[in-house]
Amino acid sequence: MSAAILEVSGVVKRFGGFTALDGVDFTVAPGERVGLIGPNGSGKSTLVNCIAGTLRNEEGRIRFEGRDIHAYPAHRRIRLGLARSFQIPKPFASMSVLDNLCVPLLYAAKGGEARRAADEAHGILRQVGLEEKAHAMSGGLTQVDMRKLELARAMAAKPKLLISDEAMAGLSTSEVDDILALLMGLKAQGVAVIMIEHVMRAVMKFSERIAVLVAGRKIADGDPQTVVGTPEVVKAYLGE
Amino acid sequence: MSNGKFAVVAIAVAIAFAAASQLVPNEYFFTAAYVVLQFVILATAWNILGGYTGYVNFGSAAFFAIGAYSTVVLYNAAKAPLLVMIVAGTLVAGLLGLGLGYLTLRLRGVFFAIASLALAVVLYTFIVNWDYVGGARGAYVLQPREVPFGLPRYIHLLYIVLVLQAAVALVVARAIEKSTIGRGLAAIRDDELAAECSGVPTLRLKIFSATVSGALMGMAGTTFPFYLSYIEPSSAFGLSYAVNSIAMPLIGGMMSWVGPLIGAVLLGSVQQLVQVTISSAWNLLIVGVLLVLFVTLAPNGIMGWVDAWRRRRDRR
Amino acid sequence: MEASTALVINAIIAGLLLGGFYAAVSVGISISFGMLDVVNIAHPAFIILGSYVAYFVNDRFGFDPILVSVVLSPLFFALGMALYRIYYVCFEKRGQESLRGLAFFFGILFITEVALVLVFGVDYRLVSTAYGEVTWRAGDIDFPMRLVVPFFVSVAMVVGVQLFLTHTFFGRAVLAVAQDQLALRLMGVNPVRVKERAFALSIATAGVAGAFLIVIQPVQPSIGREYIGLVFAVCVLGGMGSIWGTLIGALVLGLAESFTSTFFGPSWAPAVSFGLLLATLAFRPTGLLGR
């Protein structure tokens, strides 16, 4: 069994008097497709932020490829290969779609020459289906294109682990399938993916394993069919 | 155009301006042009941290003044050559930018802006209380009797120095803008959190930006004591520097090196006219009103209009 | 009483009295910046405007400046509403608050100062009040009325604002908007209206505080800029958005300035507030009472 690429152990995060994460353990194997689900407010985004480095957890350890990354700022974590997309897309609005990708290519992926970065950016845009919009201003894209750009930017960092934070929220069925195909394709590149979603059919199709977070605690972790059948999970979503 | 080529062009244009100036019969040209060139440097420098990185500096006067007062110190201590004074002032101002940046750029942009304002006042108070540089009474920094290079008057030399300084500032600004660092700064400006999560070392780049910006603003101040052979704190820390270094890039356009140049030349020349014909108080009022009008109605400035027109033309 | 003890006690008294006044001057920023997240660095401009309005009426008609400012406070309220409207339409709605909003308010500050110079000139202006020259003495300890009266009305105003925020529906709406705008909308309250009026309140307090200022000392247009550091220092020291914090921060600042002025000379006083602000931002940005 290969060593885990991400190991989260006993992570606690508090906001004043409110405990958002109450001792969460979570691992991801290299190339694995993991779904992370849970009701709103259960702490999923907080967990993502702690892993990515935009928030600091008070207790617990986070290891990436065996290395303790607690002291690493976010920009260093992504350079190690830990990428994330944002739930609400945050494009670099003054730049074109192409230039948006050049930033992570140059900084996270250590892409060297700016000229080569542009070529690589085109490649990624082709992969996500945004190539025709390469020179469009990123501020004026449609919702689904913005989500694709978010993911493309995370992919441009050449990550080993990519966290997709509710990229499908509010999209139509065909748009969801677009994003799903995109994320499935990452497996071929050996990229592990954590998918945080509410669109259950996408989560079921995508995940090799599902973890469930409720009120800051992980209540289930395992085979998708088994997990969604567990009484605690059903109760969490549907009530008593 | 590569950075090297642009530098050559800039220096060539500067030399051309320098040479052509000798044909101008009106002596007033030099005193007025000196002020406009000061603004070109200040606006360009401010924009590196302001337009490129998205952090507003309200304390431009502090950096300008520290460049001026380091000249005073070197003049009083050793009558150092002009070039030494310029380099020293630039370095000291850069250190100030580094210090301020290191202390306050970890915080939100608004706190940096307020801290920069605080810096100007604190520095002003120190200078006013420091007798070695003349305190509130001011200091005399006499122009040398012998004007180098056979120029007719010392103000001509100051003008030429400033033209070269302006060229340097523009070359530096453009080089940063087009470089990888420039992309990183733009990312910070557009969305600092997303930039950090895209691998941009935001704090490091912001501090770099503040250091370079501060250094260039200090450079603009290094020759100022010689301008009137006299300097005192209220003119070195003048309100005009604070408002113009913000208004000029805003009106000209903050996205590239061209905007501050246009803003400084246009607004600076207008101000020279108004100051002479009406009064300096009305002059400042006009600048303030233009600032507010542009920031509410035309936030991308003149270059913004040009870009919009270009895009409309390309679409046809 | 020993001369040096008297000196220290007088410095403390002056510091506390001044501190109360500083709280009045800064309570508006606690609202606009601390609660509404609007970086109104033009706040001091409205203080100075208040000073000049009070001066003008006092000079023409002889009315007490503080009374005048309270009576005229609705004017400042209206001005604040108009200003927020412009700010909201041009900046907050477009999501460009930070840089452009700052530049906008800086422009407003600047225009106000220069306009005052054009109308009134750069000479110091002062008011004549019934109590301005009176100083109550207890042995070697001085209680100058020009400090005492503004102190009491300042504290009254600050306490009034705090009570308003915690005990009226609108006040609690303001506190709510600072925390969760969406929830407010879901309760049927329009957050923009709330913010607009809260901002107007902050400007009204500035206008009234301006009258306090001119009772304490003569004013000239450039004083506004010195107060920027002061109001933000008080706000940051007090932990942003807490009215009690503002009061404590103001008292701390008042004492610091008073001691600096007494023992190092008044020319160092401007550096105190700004220096304290810089130090707080650099080393303890959550304020003295911060989490």
Domain edges within chain C: 3-283
- By three-state DSSP, how is residue B51 classified? coil
Mutation pick from A90, A98, A146, A161 vs chain B, by most beta carbons of B within 10 Å, is A90
CA–CA distance, C137 with C131 (Å, rounded to integer): 14
Over residues A217-239, mean pLDDT:
84
CA–CA distance, A74 with A63 (Å, rounded to integer): 14
Residue A21 domain-assigned?
yes
Neighbours of C70 (CB within 10 A): 16
CA–CA distance, A224 with A203 (Å, rounded to integer): 9
CA distance B196 to chain A (A): 5
Tell me how far apart the terminal alpha carbons of chain B are, to the nearest angstrom: 27
CA–CA distance, C42 with C40 (Å, rounded to integer): 5
The encoded tokens of residue C201 equal 């309140």
CA–CA distance, A136 with A141 (Å, rounded to integer): 8
The residue assigned the tokens 């079921």 is A204
Which residues of chain B lie closer than 8 angstroms to C41, CB-CB? Answer: 58, 113-114, 117
- Domain residues for the domain of B56 are 3-241
Residue A144 has pLDDT above 70, yes or no: yes
Asked if residues A150 and A185 have their Cβ atoms less than 8 Å apart, the reply is: no
Residue A111 domain-assigned?
no
Per DSSP, helices labelled H in B179-257 are 180-190, 192-196, 202-221, 224-227, 233-236, 239-252
Over residues A152-169, mean pLDDT:
92
> Which residues of chain B are modeled with pLDDT < 70?
316
Neighbours of C155 (CB within 10 A): 17
CA–CA distance, A33 with A110 (Å, rounded to integer): 26
Mutation pick from C43, C89, C102 vs chain B, by most beta carbons of B within 10 Å, is C102
Residue B29 domain-assigned?
yes
Q: Is B114 an interface residue toward C (CB < 8 Å)? A: yes
Residue A115 domain-assigned?
no
Residue of C nearest to B50 (CA): C99
- Domain residues for the domain of A225 are 6-91+159-238
Beta bridge partners of B269: none
Residue A3 has pLDDT above 70, yes or no: yes
Q: What is the dihedral of CA C25, C28, C30, C33, to 10 degrees?
A: -120
Q: What is the dihedral of CA C97, C101, C103, C108, to 10 degrees?
A: 180
Beta bridge partners of A83: A162
Touching partners of A (3+ C-beta pairs < 8 Å): B
Touching partners of B (3+ C-beta pairs < 8 Å): A, C
Q: What is the dihedral of CA C110, C111, C112, C118, to 10 degrees?
A: 110
Asked if residues C269 and C260 have their Cβ atoms less than 8 Å apart, the reply is: yes
Q: For B11, phi and psi rounded to 5 degrees?
A: -65, -40
Q: What is the predicted pLDDT for the residue at C289?
A: 56
Residue of B nearest to C119 (CA): B281
CATH number of the domain to which A176 belongs: 3.40.50.300
CA–CA distance, B127 with B169 (Å, rounded to integer): 27
Residues in CB range of B241: below 8 A, 6 or more apart = B42, B60, B61, B64
H-helix or E-strand containing C141?
Answer: strand C141-144
How far is CA C52 from each of CA B173, C60, C200, C210, C228, rounded to the nearest angstrom?
A: 43, 12, 19, 8, 18
Contact state of C106 with B243 under an 8 Å Cβ cutoff: yes
Amino acid letter for position C163: L
Which residues of chain A lie closer than 8 angstroms to B315, CB-CB? Answer: none
Touching partners of C (3+ C-beta pairs < 8 Å): B
* A89 alpha carbon, distance to own chain's centre: 12
Asked if residues B299 and B50 have their Cβ atoms less than 8 Å apart, the reply is: no
B interface with A, Cβ–Cβ < 8 A, is 180, 183-184, 186-187, 189-191, 193-203, 255
CA–CA distance, C61 with C127 (Å, rounded to integer): 11
Contact state of C111 with B285 under an 8 Å Cβ cutoff: yes
Instruction: Give the tens place of pLDDT for each residue, C122-168.
Output: 889 988 888 878 888 888 788 888 888 899 999 999 999 999 988 98
CA–CA distance, A59 with A21 (Å, rounded to integer): 10
Residue A193 domain-assigned?
yes
Q: Is C282 an interface residue toward B (CB < 8 Å)? A: yes
Mutation pick from B188, B198, B312 vs chain A, by most beta carbons of A within 10 Å, is B198
Residue A170 domain-assigned?
yes
CA–CA distance, C16 with A87 (Å, rounded to integer): 50
CA–CA distance, C169 with B183 (Å, rounded to integer): 48
Residue of C nearest to B298 (CA): C90
Q: What is the predicted pLDDT for the residue at A1?
A: 45
The residue assigned the tokens 């690493």 is A72
Residue B287 domain-assigned?
no
Residue B147 domain-assigned?
yes
Q: What is the predicted pLDDT for the residue at C199?
A: 94
Q: Which fold has domain C3-283?
A: ABC transporter involved in vitamin B12 uptake, BtuC (1.10.3470)
Which residues of chain B lie closer than 8 angstroms to A73, CB-CB? Answer: 196, 201, 203
Task: Please calculate the CA angle C26-C28-C32 and round it to the nearest 5 degrees.
Answer: 120
* A193 alpha carbon, distance to own chain's centre: 7
H-helix or E-strand containing A26?
Answer: strand A18-28
Give 3-state DSSP helix, strand, coil % of chain B, rounded to 5.
80, 0, 20
Q: For A22, phi and psi rounded to 5 degrees?
A: -120, 70
Specify the DSSP class assigned to residue A81.
T
Q: Which of A32, A41, A40 is nearest to A7 (CA)?
A: A32
Residue A149 domain-assigned?
no
CA distance B233 to chain A (A): 40
CA–CA distance, B126 with B133 (Å, rounded to integer): 10
Specify the DSSP class assigned to residue A63.
E
- By three-state DSSP, how is residue A90 classified? coil
Overall residue count recorded for chain A in this entry: 240
Asked if residues A165 and A48 have their Cβ atoms less than 8 Å apart, the reply is: yes
Q: Which of A183, A152, A161, A180 is nearest to A26 (CA)?
A: A161
- By three-state DSSP, how is residue A56 classified? coil
| Among the partner residues B111, B124, B288, nearest to C285 by beta-carbon distance | B111
How far is CA A49 from each of CA A41, B204, B242, rounded to the nearest angstrom?
A: 14, 21, 39
Asked if residues B260 and B44 have their Cβ atoms less than 8 Å apart, the reply is: yes
Q: Is C232 an interface residue toward B (CB < 8 Å)? A: yes
Q: What is the predicted pLDDT for the residue at A114?
A: 67
CA–CA distance, B237 with B133 (Å, rounded to integer): 14
The β-bridge relationship of strands A161-165 and A192-196 is: parallel
CA–CA distance, A159 with A104 (Å, rounded to integer): 10
Beta bridge partners of A14: A19
Residue of B nearest to A102 (CA): B183
Q: What is the predicted pLDDT for the residue at C101?
A: 87
Q: For A14, phi and psi rounded to 5 degrees?
A: -120, 145
Q: Is B119 an interface residue toward C (CB < 8 Å)? A: yes
CA–CA distance, C21 with C251 (Å, rounded to integer): 9
**What pTM was estimated for this model as a whole?**
0.90
Q: What is the predicted pLDDT for the residue at C49?
A: 95
The β-bridge relationship of strands A67-68 and A6-15 is: unpaired
Residues in CB range of A177: below 8 A, 6 or more apart = none
> Which residues of chain C are modeled with pLDDT < 70?
1-3, 93-97, 181-182, 285-291
Question: With bands split at pLDDT 50, 70 and 90, how would you rate the model's confidence at A150?
Answer: very high
Asked if residues B292 and B286 have their Cβ atoms less than 8 Å apart, the reply is: no
Q: Is C285 an interface residue toward B (CB < 8 Å)? A: yes
CA–CA distance, C50 with C56 (Å, rounded to integer): 10
